[in-house]
Amino acid sequence: MPRKESNIVKRTLDPKNPPPLTAAQKARLDAVAAMPDEQIDYSDAPALPDAVWTKAAALPGAKQQITLRIDADVLNFFRHSGKRYQTRINAVLRAYVEAHKRHAHDSDAH
């Protein structure tokens, strides 16, 4: 069977070795760096939740294999974040659970 040629190009970005900035990019960054914070337009920046679970860390433990349906964009986000993406998904879910346990505990105390 002949091998089908793919038109998919995969690129990876090493955060420790980013590509060099163009002169225009450097000029833009310098201009923003010189601005006071209140003059910077953040309207196109994605909203970040203020929840504790945004800083998830992997914890060791027994795992259970399951089938889980996840939105394609969410899965792609984790897959493109590097190897061990399933471990990171688990860490985010664990941090979410822990944050909600603390919230429930705090609510019960009042």
What type of residue is 78? F
Angstrom distance (rounded) from CA 66 to CA 63: 9
pTM value > 0.75: no
The tokens describing 91, both together, are 């860490």
For the chain, list residues with pLDDT below 50: none
Q: Distance of CA 92 to CAs 44, 52, 78, 104, Å?
A: 25, 10, 11, 18
